[in-house]
Amino acid sequence: MHLIDTHFHLDLYPKPEALVLEIEALKIYTIAVTNTPSVFDFTYQVTKNLKYVRAAIGLHPELALQRKSELPLFKEHLGKTRFVGEIGLDYGNLNDLEKRQQRNIFESILDSCATSKDKILTVHSRGTASDVISTIGNNFPGKIILHWFSGSIRELEQAVEFGFYFSINSAMASSVKGKRLILNIPSDKLLTETDGPFIEVERKPALPSDVVLTLEKLATMRDISIDSQRSIIFNNFKSLLE
């Protein structure tokens, strides 16, 4: 049974060309997200002939305003991949006008993805879960993964109602709030991620193989065997791809 890492920043590692071959050799299904359209092509070129690692085209919300000129490039590259991310909303210290601009960019990305109907999106929603969920809505013609979700239980329930998936990492599975959220996610909507290198394991940037640690935490929380949890995640990933 293969490991699954649905959110990994391959291009932010020192030697991505070598690393991606290691991931491929380990047969870990990995979505290599990107933060701007201008860096997508590099990740695409080093993964396009691989079986287990796929490049996702993204425009991270924290970069969206300063890189909005790359939206045409996003649309140009979108046909090269089924996977989109990292995208979403993150208002931080933005004023109301900047928040609206960020939402407009997110909406533009969603509109472009909806045209293809089969896209799989990994979405950032820190502090903006309600806006992210309502903006995507209940009729998006693709699949949505809420990456490292940190919203409320009510927001989680809304996302579940809309059919969204949730990717869990070791940090989320270690926090009190994260555990409470995880226990409210239906088993068939759970996926695993590392979000490496933003998450570290033993003081080193997380690698896709480190999703084993998250599987162990999920299995303990749900009082099932790690093999059973691994099988659930694998089957959920297969469903995601259907």
Q: Is 7 within any annotated ligand binding site? A: yes
Burial class (CB in 10 A: 0-12, 13-18, 19+), 206: buried
Q: Is 2 within any annotated ligand binding site? A: no
Q: Is 195 within any annotated ligand binding site? A: yes
Q: Is 111 within any annotated ligand binding site? A: no
Q: Is 210 within any annotated ligand binding site? A: no
Residues of 158-187 as b/e, b for ≥16 C-beta within 10 angstroms?
Answer: bbbeeebbbbbbbbbbeeeebbebbeebee
Q: Is 9 within any annotated ligand binding site? A: yes
Q: Which residues are annotated as a binding site for a divalent metal cation?
A: 7, 9, 86, 124, 147, 195
**Binding site: what residues are annotated?**
7, 9, 86, 124, 147, 195
